[in-house]
Structure 1
Amino acid sequence: MTPVLRWTVADEGFWVAEAEGSYAGTVDRQGKHHYVRNGYGEYIGDYATLPAAQVALAARSTDRRTRWLHR
């Protein structure tokens, strides 16, 4: 299940995500690119649109949380 991310605009072109009260990552727009990092600062990817970047972070947030819970 994809977590519900709550987004805040921290600065122009910079969004911060929160999931269940915890920091989940960022999207940083640089020109036409949207660079995504998860809550651990790991690079997720480069996306053409903000919605695509947000979906990618939500999908990876689930994977990371699942791996962490099952260690």
Structure 2
Amino acid sequence: MKEKIERALFEVRPYIEYYEELKRKVEEISSKAQDEVSFVKSLEEEIRNSQEPFKTDLRIFLQKFSSL
């Protein structure tokens, strides 16, 4: 899963406004997730609790991660 996260982060970087914050949040969530399903659920929860424009950054990342 780590490689998939790194690839998604690399591919979305040009479209992200707060890349460093996104990277920190994604790494934090992935360190707590046991598997990909729990990672995606935690990411979706973070999206619900976030404010724009960071919410959009999270959505872009999730869309790319899910498509890999």
Q: Is the shorter-chain TM-score for this pair beyond 0.5, marking a shared fold? A: no
Structure with the bigger percentage of strand? 1
State the structure with more CA Rg: 1
Structure with more relative contact order (C-alpha pairs < 8 Å, separation 6 or more): 2
Structure with the bigger percentage of helix? 2
- TM-score (normalised: structure 2): 0.37
